[in-house]
Structure 1
Amino acid sequence: MEVLLSLCSIGFCSAVLYFYNVMWLQPQRICNKLRRQGIEGPPPSFPHGNLTEMERLVMQEKARETITHDYGPTVFPYFEKWRKRYGPVFSYSMRNVPFLHVSHPELVGDMSLCLSLDLGKSTYMKKTQEPLFGHSIIKSNGKAWSDQRKMIAPEFFLDKVKGMVDLMVESARPLIESWESKIQHEKGLSEIKVDEDLRNYSADVISRACFGSSYSEGKEIFSKLRALKIALSKRNLLVEIGGLRYLPTRRNREVWRLNKEVRSLILKLIKDGGGEGCASEKGLLQAILQTPGDSKNADDFVVDNCKTIYIAGHETVAVTAVWCLLMLSIHPEWQKRARDEVVEVCNGRPPTANSLQKMKTLTMVIQETLRLYPPTGLLARETLQDMDFGGIHIPKGVNISIPLATLHHDSSSWGTDVNEFKPERFAKGARSATQLPCMYAPFGIGRRTCLGQNFAMVELKIVLSLILSKFNFSLSPNYQHCPSMRLVVEPEFGVELLMERHDKDM
């Protein structure tokens, strides 16, 4: 018995020491390397790091009574507080994960030019978000990411996207018709909550363009994927405790169930020939299906990338369209300018690839909206090896947080009117809008720039041009401004618009 007790004591002490080493000593060694270079940050506490303060500051933030376009203080209040105290580069930790906050233009510019695979996507939260993204291109690093990009990227080249214009116009018709019907039913003026309708439109586009099925056929997949995203968002995304993922809590059981159902639905779509009739002769699904490997690995690869494309391909576009309509509703002068351009360019016909290129004003509106409300509020990278940027040596394993809200609202780069909606900034293109092009990054930076940005811009122009040509709209007095982080930054309570028919129909 004494021997058993001694062994138990030794085992317990060893476990405690191991836990203390992993949760505190190892990350502190990395943070000390940064501190020795003059990089300070909020003092962490064992075992939570800076999580307690982060959660407290988030809880203190309330919905704003007035509309201000800088969502950084609302969504990331801790970054705002620490940046004022420690400057644009500081360290912090989330449990045992060391982070480096970077919003200094020179350092961001250096990282944007980096082509090394050693600067990869952050692996923090990878396990927690695995039900949503798996090991798809959005979460992979190194050769695995490079191979997937080579396979998927050609399907989003501009020449192929131009061939999808008619398909996107067709997908928008049900949305336009449903709004026309509501307005007619309510005698010329209707209050419409636009969020869900725009998600449905964007979901239909990505489903038709890449998988050859309409939204009605893929509705169940989209519904369950959104439920899965919400279930994962309900978790405290600031916390990553590996063991808790495996406990059969009610929330975990919901995630497991939804993930299993989505997987079955996607594989059924493939089995039933869902990839037939895609917008191009060789659709995206066919490209993904060519992955080598055994059957199980191939299924995992297809399911993971299909889920990623479903989420990334319609959630970000839909929420950007919502923000664009919000901006146009509170800036009627720009709504009129954009509408006049659409009417002149299209001349009573649906938009085409050629007419979209002539919509300069609408492009400026979208670009300025993406500056003020980038859907991805935070770019996350990780040094997979020791690396040097801007004269700073960053050890292996450091997670780098680049807050887009901070970059896009930097007055030294954008001017004193940085918080105002001024699409004319982009009159000469995105690269000329600011003195430092790296400070505008709605689609990411470096090698990991979003593959679907051409697709997204074309889709946004189509739906916005059709809405502008058909309707006048203003912001409902019921709207409550509260940007919220749910994997993407979206209006927490949705956007309601007062809509009426425009007298110059196409």
Structure 2
Amino acid sequence: MVLGSGLLANATSVSWIQLLAVYGLPCLVLLWQLGRLLDSLWLQPRRLERELRSQGLRGTSYRFFTGDLREQGRMNKEAWSRPLPLRCHDIAPRVAPFLCGSVREHGRVSLSWFGPTPKVTIADPDLARRVLSDRSGHLEKPKFPALWKLLANGLSNHEGDKWARHRRLLNPAFHLEKIKCMIPEFSACCEELVSRWSESIGSDGWCELDVWPELQKLTGDAISRTAFGSSYLEGRKIFQLQTEQAERLVTNIRKILIPGYLSLPTKNNRRMYQINNEIESILRGLIGKRIQAMEGGESTKDDLLGLLLESNMRHTNENGKSSTGMTIEDVIEECKLFYFGGMETTSVLLTWIMVVLSMHPEWQDRAREEVLGLFGQDKPGYEGLNRLKTVTIIIYEVLRLYPPSIHLSRKTCREVEIGGVKYPAGVMIELSVLSMHRDINIWGDDAHQFKPERFAQGISKASKNPGAFLPFGWGPRICIGQNFALLEAKMALCMILQRFQFALASSYTHAPHTVVTLHPMHGAQIKLGLI
């Protein structure tokens, strides 16, 4: 009897151990995960909020999980439903109503929430330059790795030694002397554009075009030729795929807070991964062929890919370690960034230039007079493009009023002091380019007006604070392709002005909004006439 009781007790003990093994450990793991989730979605945001508010920061209070995303989405939907009056350049309340309201209500430094992450918006140029010039390593670019890798995970997304190494290897490809050599390619692409437009002119001497997709095609062709030379037709395919990828990315941007969202087999996610695989397959083939040719003794071509590979191989040979250069995967990501940055920024800039000059024909006439005076009907050359004054100040003023990127972002990875406030790790810092570019205390009461003459004596004297003009960023991470973009924009604008006069079509709706960069929501319908 005693033996039977012992066996029963022993069996019961074993069963409890088995139950604990089967159910207990998974339950503990689940509780641990729930604890981490609670901390990241509630306890940590509340701690950070108390710490920031104790130092005098004002702004919105944290709302569980979504933060201000829902309110921001509601305000965007409402603002984007109403177009602006023609010739109205006060675009901030429509383009970024939440940000605009936050700066107006809480000042140049204000607190809001990107989901559970505190976001401090800075609209003070001096503080912005302090952030952009940081070399301490305490500030880094915000990372959405799985998402951004599907678009471009190159130089702009790297930090520390990897960023420094890639920047050093890329610099030779963007040296001004090398960019000068690309002028014939810019010119050829622009010639194709103006010839196509000329053929569209009707018997009355006019035609109507949506120039937005036309200018995207122009800059896509330009980056295809300058990046891959004779393989530019394959480059066109990349341009088309990346355009679709950017649009699909924006539909996902507000869903990235859901853990594992990009792993879900949704139709949009599957297509994004398919596009990424297609782009990488094309690039891998192009890069492989080029490396094989270079190793076979073929001379390096003066396109971006050739210059990058030459720089990379020279660096590797000099240092004797392949680990100090770029891998094939690194080169692929930089090429993806060539495309997105090179195509997107310049096409956005040219579109808004044509829209704004259609609104202000007096400045269009002045620019055309300068171009015809310098070049006549000849193709523009580098020296002439460098002497343009009216065209240059027009470009600067359009960049001020319609910056391609309306904000620049950083994230604290360690505690850092900015303007007397100590920001703990885990805070997103958003520099509002849109706000600084139109601050009446900096630019004057005419800050919302198109007045290119403010730049007549250069950027440093255009406002009370030269640090308020940040279309390409500033500091060590200033856009590496700014000379490329400005030279291409000047070439295209000159060749358009040589052939055409233009005005807004009656179907045009003034509705700028953000899709990664600042786009015309309903296109840019322009009436073109031969001069």
Q: Same fold (TM over 0.5)?
A: yes
Task: Verify: 1:137 aligned to 2:166, yes or no.
Answer: no
Q: Which has the larger radius of gyration?
A: 2
Aligned with 1:17 (options 24, 29, 35)? 35
- Report the residue type matching 1:66 in the other structure: P
Distance (whole Å) between structure 2 residues aligned to residue 29 and residue 202 of structure 1:
47
Task: Say which is worse superposed, 3-12 or 357-366, in terms of deviation.
Answer: 3-12
Task: Verify: 1:283 aligned to 2:315, yes or no.
Answer: no
Task: Say which is worse superposed, 239-248 or 113-122, in terms of deviation.
Answer: 113-122
CA contact (8 A) 1:42 1:91 kept: yes
Once the two structures are superposed, residues 207-236 of structure 1 have per-residue CA deviations (whole angstroms, 9 ceiling, x without a partner) of 222322364332211111111111111224
Alignment of 1:83-98 (within 5 A): 83-98=103-118
Gaps of 5+ in 2: 1-15, 294-299
Task: Verify: 1:66 aligned to 2:80, yes or no.
Answer: no
Q: 1:196 to 1:301 in 2, by over 3 A?
A: same
CA contact (8 A) 1:112 1:438 kept: no
Could you tell me which residue of structure 2 aligns to residue 127 of structure 1?
146
Shift in Å, 1:166: 2.1
Distance (whole Å) between structure 1 residues aligned to residue 115 and residue 250 of structure 2:
19
Counterpart of 1:241 in 2: which secondary structure?
coil
Q: 1:65 to 1:54 in 2, by over 3 A?
A: closer
Shift in Å, 1:114: 3.0
Q: 1:162 to 1:378 in 2, by over 3 A?
A: same
Shift in Å, 1:111: 2.5
Shift in Å, 1:407: 0.6
Distance (whole Å) between structure 2 residues aligned to residue 493 and residue 451 of structure 1:
30
Once the two structures are superposed, residues 238-274 of structure 1 have per-residue CA deviations (whole angstroms, 9 ceiling, x without a partner) of 7433311111111110011010011001111223339
Counterpart of 1:131 in 2: which secondary structure?
coil
Task: Verify: 1:177 aligned to 2:177, yes or no.
Answer: no
- Report the residue type matching 1:416 in the other structure: D
Task: Say which is worse superposed, 491-500 or 55-64, in terms of deviation.
Answer: 55-64
Task: Verify: 1:338 aligned to 2:338, yes or no.
Answer: no
Once the two structures are superposed, residues 63-122 of structure 1 have per-residue CA deviations (whole angstroms, 9 ceiling, x without a partner) of 314132233212221112222221111222222222111112332243244343432212
Distance (whole Å) between structure 1 residues aligned to residue 231 and residue 354 of structure 2:
25
Shift in Å, 1:56: 1.7
Task: Verify: 1:45 aligned to 2:63, yes or no.
Answer: yes
Alignment of 1:48-447 (within 5 A): 48-61=66-79, 62-67=81-86, 68-123=88-143, 125-134=144-153, 136-183=154-201, 185-213=202-230, 215-237=232-254, 239-273=256-290, 277-279=301-303, 283-287=307-311, 293=322, 298-447=327-476
CA contact (8 A) 1:380 1:400 kept: yes
Distance (whole Å) between structure 1 residues aligned to residue 250 and residue 24 of structure 2:
44
Once the two structures are superposed, residues 347-369 of structure 1 have per-residue CA deviations (whole angstroms, 9 ceiling, x without a partner) of 33211111011110000000000
Distance (whole Å) between structure 2 residues aligned to residue 260 and residue 55 of structure 1:
31
Counterpart of 2:330 in 1: which secondary structure?
helix
Distance (whole Å) between structure 1 residues aligned to residue 156 and residue 305 of structure 2:
25
Gaps of 5+ in 1: none
Distance (whole Å) between structure 1 residues aligned to residue 130 and residue 235 of structure 2:
42
* Structure 1 length-normalised TM: 0.93
Shift in Å, 1:451: 0.5
Counterpart of 1:382 in 2: which secondary structure?
strand
Q: 1:500 to 1:289 in 2, by over 3 A?
A: farther
Shift in Å, 1:326: 0.5
Distance (whole Å) between structure 1 residues aligned to residue 303 and residue 28 of structure 2:
64
- Report the residue type matching 1:97 in the other structure: T
User: How many pairs were matched up?
Assistant: 499
Shift in Å, 1:189: 0.6
Task: Say which is worse superposed, 138-147 or 230-239, in terms of deviation.
Answer: 230-239
Q: Which structure has the highest helix share of the two?
A: 2
Counterpart of 1:283 in 2: which secondary structure?
helix
Q: 1:126 to 1:237 in 2, by over 3 A?
A: farther
Distance (whole Å) between structure 1 residues aligned to residue 230 and residue 414 of structure 2:
42
Shift in Å, 1:173: 0.9
CA contact (8 A) 1:127 1:242 kept: no
Task: Say which is worse superposed, 446-455 or 278-287, in terms of deviation.
Answer: 278-287
Once the two structures are superposed, residues 306-347 of structure 1 have per-residue CA deviations (whole angstroms, 9 ceiling, x without a partner) of 001110011110110000011111100000000000001113
Distance (whole Å) between structure 2 residues aligned to residue 318 and residue 328 of structure 1:
15
Shift in Å, 1:163: 2.2
Q: 1:214 to 1:409 in 2, by over 3 A?
A: farther
Distance (whole Å) between structure 2 residues aligned to residue 212 and residue 415 of structure 1:
46
Distance (whole Å) between structure 2 residues aligned to residue 108 and residue 220 of structure 1:
38
Distance (whole Å) between structure 2 residues aligned to residue 242 and residue 491 of structure 1:
32
Q: 1:297 to 1:20 in 2, by over 3 A?
A: farther
Shift in Å, 1:398: 1.5
CA contact (8 A) 2:513 2:519 kept: yes
- Report the residue type matching 2:507 in the other structure: N
Shift in Å, 1:159: 2.0
Task: Say which is worse superposed, 432-441 or 72-81, in terms of deviation.
Answer: 72-81
Q: 1:281 to 1:50 in 2, by over 3 A?
A: closer
Distance (whole Å) between structure 2 residues aligned to residue 471 and residue 223 of structure 1:
27
Distance (whole Å) between structure 1 residues aligned to residue 147 and residue 347 of structure 2:
24
Task: Say which is worse superposed, 320-329 or 273-282, in terms of deviation.
Answer: 273-282
Distance (whole Å) between structure 2 residues aligned to residue 82 and residue 283 of structure 1:
45
Shift in Å, 1:385: 2.2
Task: Say which is worse superposed, 68-77 or 392-401, in terms of deviation.
Answer: 68-77
Task: Verify: 1:453 aligned to 2:472, yes or no.
Answer: no
CA contact (8 A) 2:172 2:307 kept: no
Percent identity between matched residues is: 32
CA contact (8 A) 1:224 1:258 kept: yes
Distance (whole Å) between structure 2 residues aligned to residue 339 and residue 496 of structure 1:
20
- Report the residue type matching 1:196 in the other structure: P
Counterpart of 1:416 in 2: which secondary structure?
coil
